[in-house]
Amino acid sequence: CERQEGQPLKQRLLVVANRLPVSAVRRGEDSWQLEISVGGLVSALLGVKEFDARWIGWAGVNVPDEIGQKALTKALAEKRCIPVFLDEEIVHQYYNGYCNNILWPLFHYLGLPQEDRLATTRSFQSQFDAYKRANQMFADVVNQHYEEGDVVWCHDYHLMFLPKCLKEYNSNMKVGWFLHTPFPSSEIHRTLPSRSELLRSVLAADLVGFHTYDYARHFVSACTRILGLEGTPEGVEDQGKLTRVAAFPIGIDSDRFVRALEIPQVQEHMKELKERFAGRKVMLGVDRLDMIKGIPQKILAFEKFLEENPNWRDKVVLLQIAVPTRTDVPEYQKLTSQVHEIVGRINGRFGTLTAVPIHHLDRSLDFHALCALYAVTDVALVTSLRDGMNLVSYEFVACQASKKGVLILSEFAGAAQSLGAGAILVNPWNITEVAASIGYALNMPADEREKRHQHNFMYVTTHTSQEWAATFVSELNDTIVEAQLRTRQ
Ligand code: G6P
């Protein structure tokens, strides 16, 4: 623990995630520029201030030379970040391959890769080996920086092998693991060739956390059905050792969004947007350009709505922010072309000389511009085919205190369990239903909007990322104490 002048003791926390909250761009032999990374995990953890935290992860860049590595390590230290250096080959096999081409689609119910099954099967083992090697490299860095009493919090599907590696170094280390994606039904997980090894590695942790009760239940069933272990209400038991398994729904730093709306720069952005889209209702989608986000389905639903409601054609605009991601993976490249093709077709079909129905941007927005956009939006569309939680829905709600816009939310996003009562829930695969929901949202009376918004606003501003992290870490500390008591009995 660290005592800062006049401050209470803060628990030391080592956050380990594949990606650091900042990505590095090289500007010279020994100079680096750091940029905030995108994604729900980063957005949630940046708001967590009550720990003396260090972040260990990959800076998203290959740094083969020692001068570059030293300079980057120094630049990152100022942000309390510690880099894990991964070379190009390992990034290709571990990150593009095993993480993003195998685990990510599988955990989102898109199955194992279908094309060229034989090639996939042949390369599967080498990708899994690279995955384990990469996890071991993360473990080495954690071990170098670990001090007795630290809590080590491992994040996400990239690091399922990490708890085991860490406990092999030091069985007294307090290790928690949290998954930011869904954990699928055991019937899906059992198709994975390395299913048992991964489950056993995760079980080496003291506490295993998920966004929802369903994901936790799927994990426990997988351990029961695949490993033959006993599932208890507390977790999973293996030869007298209990791994506690529970749901810890993540949140956002809602104050940061609420306060941002007071900033003059944000208000200026809002004014510009209102002028630009005067006389039209604004619909908004903000997603990483990922197949799980259901962007093509969303746009097709919007097309259907325009088709069926000619009176709305010049009165509504869809702004779709699609942040490029994992651009080295062929599936993501295909998706980008597919989305561009659909947007082009619809704009050609319904656009006029002065206006188009869809504004599609392949890039991220800075925080101020994003808050302004959330605040002027009438209807937000979150139509993920599967999503661990989806914090865009939370961010939208946090920025809607005055407008009280409507959230259309996929029932397959974890957020449906927390914001379901205030949002319009949809099956994103059912384009007719989503189109009808767009009509319902655009015509919703003010009192109904107000009621729905209040429900969600209350939830988002009370279930914050700070509370999420504090609950997880405190439960991890309790889990250790309980285990010690059990051993003494
Ligand atoms: C999701 C994952 C995160 C990941 C983020 C961005 O939110 O749960 O672990 O960092 O996507 O994806 P990327 O592959 O760019 O890190």
Q: What are the pLDDT digits (tens) for 19-30?
A: 999 989 999 999
325, 332, 364: residue to mutate for ligand 1 pocket, most atoms within 8 A of CB = 325
Interval between CA 445 and ligand 1 midpoint (Å):
37
Closest alpha carbon to 392 in 371, 363, 376: 371
Per-residue confidence (pLDDT) for residue 7, from 0 to 100: 58
163: left (phi over 0), alpha (psi -120 to 50) or beta: alpha
326 lines ligand 1 (CB under 6 A): yes
For 52, the token pair is 């003396």
Of the listed ranges 48-52, 250-254, 269-273, the least confidently predicted one is 48-52
Average pLDDT, the chain: 94
Mean pLDDT of the 7-18 span: 86
Tell me if 181 CB under 6 Å of ligand 1. Answer: yes
Q: Which of 22, 35, 36, 38 is the best mutation target for the ligand 1 pocket, counting ligand atoms within 8 Å of the beta carbon and taking the most?
A: 38
| 366, HSE (Cβ side, Cα atoms, 13 Å) | 6
pLDDT recorded at residue 49? 77
Helix axes 295-308, 431-442, angle to 10 degrees: 60
| Token pair for 157 | 């599907």
On the question of pLDDT at 355 being above 50, the answer is yes
Mean pLDDT in residue range 288-306 = 98
* Average confidence (pLDDT) over 318-335: 94
Q: For residue 74, count CB atoms less than 10 angstroms from its CB and return exposed for 0-12, middle for 13-18, buried for 19 or more.
A: exposed
Between CA 156 and CA 115 the distance in angstroms is: 26
The CA 41 to ligand 1 mean position distance, Å, reads: 7
Q: Are 202 and 227 in contact (CB under 8 A)?
A: no
Nearest CA to ligand 1 atom 6: 39
Instruction: Convert the pLDDT of each residue in 463-483 to its tens digit.
Output: 999 999 999 999 999 987 777
The atom of ligand 1 lying closest to the CA of 388 is: 8
Is the CB of 206 within 6 Å of ligand 1?
A: no
**How far apart are alpha carbons 226 and 486 in whole angstroms?**
27
ipTM score here?
A: 0.97
End-to-end CA distance of the chain, in Å?
29
How close is the Cα of 104 to the center of ligand 1, in Å?
Answer: 10
pLDDT > 90 in the chain, percent: 88
The Å distance, Cα 39 to ligand 1 centre, comes to 5
User: What is the atom index within ligand 1 of the atom nearest the CA of 158?
Assistant: 9
CB distance 453 to ligand 1 below 6 Å: no
* pLDDT at 2 (0 to 100): 47
Provide the whole-model pTM.
Answer: 0.95
280-292 pLDDT, tens digit per residue, is 999 999 999 999 9
Neighbours of 77 (CB within 10 A): 12
52 phi/psi in degrees, rounded to 5: -90, 85
Structure confidence by residue, pLDDT tens digits, 146-199: 999 999 999 999 999 999 999 999 999 999 999 999 999 999 999 999 999 999
Q: What percent of the chain has pLDDT over 70?
A: 94
The two tokens of residue 218 are 């799927």
1 pLDDT higher than 70: no
For residue 3, what pLDDT is reported? 46
